[in-house]
Structure 1
Amino acid sequence: MEIKDLFLTPIYLLLLYGIAFAIRPRVTNGFTRKFFIPGLSLKFLGAIALGVVYQFYYGYGDTLNYFNHVKIFGRAFEESPTIWWHLMTSDGVYEPLTYKYAIQMPWYRAGGEFVVVRLGAFFGLLCFHTYTVVGLFFALLSFSGIWAMYMTFVRIQPLVYKELGIACFYIPSVFFWGSGLMKDSICIGALGWVFYSFHAVGVRHRSIIRGLILGAFFSYALYHVKAYILLCFLPPTLVWLFNENSSKIRNKTLRLLAKPVLIIVGAVIGFLAISSLTDLDTIGEESQKTAKNIYAASGTEGSGYQLAAADGSLGSIAKIAPQAIVVALFRPFPWEARNAITLLSSLEAMIFLFVTARIIYQAGPRRVLALISSTPVLLLCFVFSLVFAIAVGMSSGNFGTLVRYKIPLMPFYAAGLYIIQAKIKQAVKRRPTSLATLRTPARV
């Protein structure tokens, strides 16, 4: 961060808030309106806080490395917009025109990282290459996807709009790690738009052209930044769309055959997502090697963790899956926290554990499973969350990195919990009425 951050950040905040207030009437209603500006403000706060933490607490990190690349793009633009454009459209090949700048960028040939750099370089032109303002643009992009996710959930379960707002906007890890100049901001935003597009095209059957364009664009972006997120999301989405539309298939035989086929296809895609993560290496030997290295770097007294070894086979993944799910959803435990960041993550995980345990205790495991299996959106939320938890839980070896990797599942898992809770409350409210009806003597 530089002096210009102090002067330009307030100006751009006013500008972005002005745009947000102008857009708000078009994308909100009387119920959702109150979440728009607070949700956006948390994203802006997260983007600024992320930069402050990395610069003054860690002193180094991915976000600072991204910005160093963005500044190189800035110097290239000052020399020649043509050089800048060639860097923006480069496929990782060193060329005489761009060589002196490309050679300065360690991530020039790194696919996902260089996507973030190019987007940051574009935003940098709009704000004189100011780190904090670039972070605000990333926060705005991330918020747009989160808002699309929220509106999709509200359309599916409108009575739970308050709780869904909490799930989408108020989880600290999501608005902190998913707001600044990072891969995670692009991923959580793109995932929200993909979810919105699938619902618009496959369930509502409205704005089909726009939905297809948005879905294709953000799926493409997500695939090139972190492909395993898209691969984990596709299998439960296929089943979700089938369940939402199965009643429209008049041929009973076709309807009975379609679901197993989708489940098999989804299982294959899910296995590929878990066993071959693009950005985290494989879950087998390479991921175990990576996890051990991270654990060793963390130290036994640090924030590292270890799971049982996996060789990448389906059997070994199934064996280690329960441990990975617990790690991703409910750890670190408070006594495992070694710094302020990990402590906050542990408190968040404890809330998830408490709410999960309370719902299972109140309703019973069978009833919870019955609700999930009979409600398409719940099946999507929990299958995606569990598959993704297995993937990131097995591929990380450090709680500090895990908290970043797992943020795409957190809004879906929290939304699923809130929807189950609402359905249980609705059932309890209906029960006295039905009992009273049964006890009332019939009139002759």
Structure 2
Amino acid sequence: MKYPEFTLYDYIFFTAYLVLFSLIAILVYLKNKEKPEYSYFLPHFFWKVFMGFAMAYVYVYNYGGGDTTAYWQGADTLNNLFYESPANYFSELFYTSRKGYLPHYYNQTTGIPPVWIYNEPNSWFICKLSSPISFFTFKSYLTLNLFYSVITSFVSWKFFQFLNSFLTIRTKYIAYSVLFIPTVGFWCTGIMKDSVTYASLLVVIMGVFKILHKQYTIKTIITTIIGLWFIFVTRSFILLPIAIPLFILLIFRLNSTKPFVVRFLTRISGISIAISSIVFFMSSSSMFGEFSSNNLTETANTIYLDFQNNSGYTGKRYDLGISEVNSVTMVTVIPSAILTTIYRPFIWEADNVLMLVNGLEGSLFLVLTLAIIRRRKKTNSAFSKNDRQTKDFIIFCVLFVLILAYFVGLTSGLFGVLARLKAPILPFFLLFIFSKLKKSTEQDLVHPE
């Protein structure tokens, strides 16, 4: 959908809600300002608001609209449907759209949802998720985008608080990793599928580790299940990089006190099952959305060549040095796919401001990686028994980053697509890097440095 510009109507309701949300945020801060971690609360809140607005501005004024405005249009169409027929509205909320079929109740009065969004159930889900919220935004795209910014800021803040109490990593490094990464802020804040997926990912990981370490409540279980459902509906392929590391971690934890032979056999069996899961993923059905079909090799090849050769996709492309994705190249390309996801685009590959920011991020990640490698003799010692939670979480981070970075690097093809899909990887990569810089005293647990 073409969305020509923000209107006065947009700015009025955006400003009104921004004042309201800001007052609430300030009151929350004042109530908790004695807690040192809350020194990051307001900067993070306004950072998310700013990044959400920046994303909306770029899409409207640079691209003339796109996914984000189409989600708003779809939500607005659903709201119109509610006023015309509440029964059809609720039916639509729980109905899975079918490609090539548009129900009769969409008409000139309700408006027609964007067909390309409606034909993709995972995209149409974002419209359905946005619809109840948009009743309070008075048909303003910019205001709905602000609601998303506030909600995602709340989720990431809760994740930060959890990690700060759960890990032995310094508070300021957790804040850098979780609260202030530009790529994550830009792509995972406003009305985007990426925002819903990323927020759900944080909820799931937080819930799973609370359950794993027996720190959970009924609320934790419910929110974890909801998060898993949201990921399954939006980007189901991310379930695999979550499940495999957790499965391996669980195997290692359960047999940590067993005799050597038992530990060896069970861990080999666990890793074999994990590898079998990847093989199943690579050869199985359609449950993993755009990253799978009857044969992942064929899908990856189609996506890769399509992005490489189709002039309809605008933006700078990257090349992993392969002419065809097949069973052999999918193995040999593992290192370059992972490195591309984490470190590229390089600064000299940037051809616009967003890519330049990505390039600066990648350069920083590379510098941090090299610094840790140089200090390996000092940093590769085992975690103490008191650091069991941190050790478990960092093992998960490493496996999650490697698996997801491989699939993202292999199938993105465009730097613009790469930036969006790799955003959920970056916080966990930084947490791994910063895990080498542990809190040195108990004082660090409550006082950020």
State the one-letter code of the partner of 2:172. K
Give the stretch that moved more between structures: 86-95 or 267-276.
267-276
Is 1:141 aligned to residue 185 of structure 2?
no
Q: What do the CA deviations read for 1:126-172 (whole angstroms, capped 9, x no partner)?
A: 11121112112222332233223322322232451111101111110
1:264 aligns with 2:272: yes
User: Among residues 341, 345, 355, which one is paired with 2:358 in the alignment?
Assistant: 345
Instruction: Return the offset for 1:59.
Output: 1.8
Percent sequence identity is: 24
Cα contact 2:188–2:198 (8 A) shared by 1: yes
> What is the alpha-carbon distance in structure 1 between the residues aligned to residue 310 and residue 364 of structure 2?
29
Structure 1: which amino acid aligns with 2:190?
A: G
1:180 counterpart SS class: coil
User: Residue in 2 aligned with 1:185?
Assistant: 195
Offset from partner CA, 1:106-130 (integer Å, 9 cap, x none) = 1224121011111122211111121
**What is aligned with 2:79?**
74
Give the drift of 1:287. 2.1
Q: Spell out, residue by residue over 1:314-366, the C-alpha distance to the aligned partner (whole angstroms, 9 max, x if none).
A: x43221111101110111111111111111111111111111011102225x9
Deviations 1:81-122 (A, max 9, x none): 333323222222558652436964312241210111111222
2:91 aligned residue (79, 86, 95): 86
When residues 84 and 174 of structure 1 are mapped into structure 2, their CA distance, relative to the original with a 3 A threshold, is same
Residues 5-60 of structure 1: CA deviation (Å, up to 9, x unaligned): 11011211122234444556899972321122221221111111111001111223
Change beyond 3 A, Cα 1:233–1:312: farther
Number of the residue aligned with 1:220: 229
Alignment of 1:12-91 (within 5 A): 12-21=17-26, 30-91=35-96
- Determine the C-alpha separation between the residues in 2 that align with 1:410 and 1:272: 27
Q: Which amino acid aligns with 1:388?
A: L
8 Å contact from structure 1 (residues 187, 225) kept in 2: yes
Distance in 1 between residues matched to 2:310 and 2:58, nearest whole Å: 21
Alpha-carbon distance in 2 for matches of 1:188, 1:116:
13
Q: Distance in 1 between matches of 2:391 and 2:345?
A: 31
Q: Distance in 2 between matches of 1:92 and 1:52?
A: 30
Cα displacement string for residues 281-325 of structure 1 (whole angstroms, at most 9, x for unaligned residues)? 465222222222222346999510122256453x43221111101
Shift of 1:250: 6.3
SS for the counterpart of 2:351 is coil
Tell me the SS of whatever aligns to 1:284: helix
Alpha-carbon distance, 1:242 to partner: 4.4
**Is the alpha carbon distance of 1:363 and 1:16 closer, same or farther for their aligned partners in structure 2, counting shifts above 3 Å?**
same
Aligned partner of 1:98 in structure 2 is 105
Query: Amino acid of the residue matched to residue 301 of structure 2?
Result: Q
Aligned to 1:360: 373
- Given that residues 201 and 231 in structure 2 are in contact (C-alpha distance below 8 angstroms), is that contact kept between their aligned partners in structure 1? yes
Look up the equivalent residue of 1:39 and give its one-letter code: H
Query: Where do 1:192-211 residues align within 5 Å?
Result: 192-203=202-213, 205-211=214-220
2:437 is paired with a residue whose SS is helix
1:26–1:383 Cα change, 3 Å: farther
- Greater helix share, structure number: 1
In structure 1, give the amino acid aligned to 2:416.
G
Q: Map 1:308-347 onto structure 2 (within 5 A).
A: 308-309=322-323, 311=325, 313=327, 315-347=328-360
Give the 3 Å change call, closer, same or farther, for CA 272–360 of structure 1 in structure 2. Answer: farther
* Higher alpha-carbon deviation: 250-259 or 174-183: 250-259
Number of aligned residue pairs: 421
- Range with greater deviation from structure 2 (304-313 or 221-230): 304-313
Q: Distance in 2 between matches of 1:131 and 1:116?
A: 14
CA distance in 2: counterparts of 1:390 and 1:153, whole angstroms: 25
Q: What TM-score does the superposition give when structure 2 sets the normalisation length?
A: 0.84
Q: Distance in 2 between matches of 1:26 and 1:198?
A: 29
Indicate whether 1:114 and 2:137 are aligned: no
Letter in 1 for 2:167: Q
Q: Of 375, 378, 385, which residue of structure 1 is paired with 2:391? A: 375
**Structure 2 unaligned spans of 5+:** 1-5, 442-449
Per mean C-alpha deviation after superposition, the further-off stretch among 141-150 and 166-175 is 141-150
- The answer to whether the aligner puts 1:156 opposite 2:166 as a matched pair is yes
Answer yes or no: is the 8 Å Cα contact 1:116–1:183 preserved in 2. yes
SS for the counterpart of 2:135 is: helix
CA distance in 2, matches of 1:179, 1:95: 30
Q: Which runs of 5+ in 1 are unaligned?
A: 427-444
Q: State the shift of 1:75 in Å.
A: 2.6
Corresponding residue for 1:5? 10
Which residue identity lines up with residue 37 of structure 2 in the other structure?
T
Larger mean CA deviation between 124-133 and 298-307 belongs to: 298-307
Q: Secondary structure at the match of 2:308?
A: helix
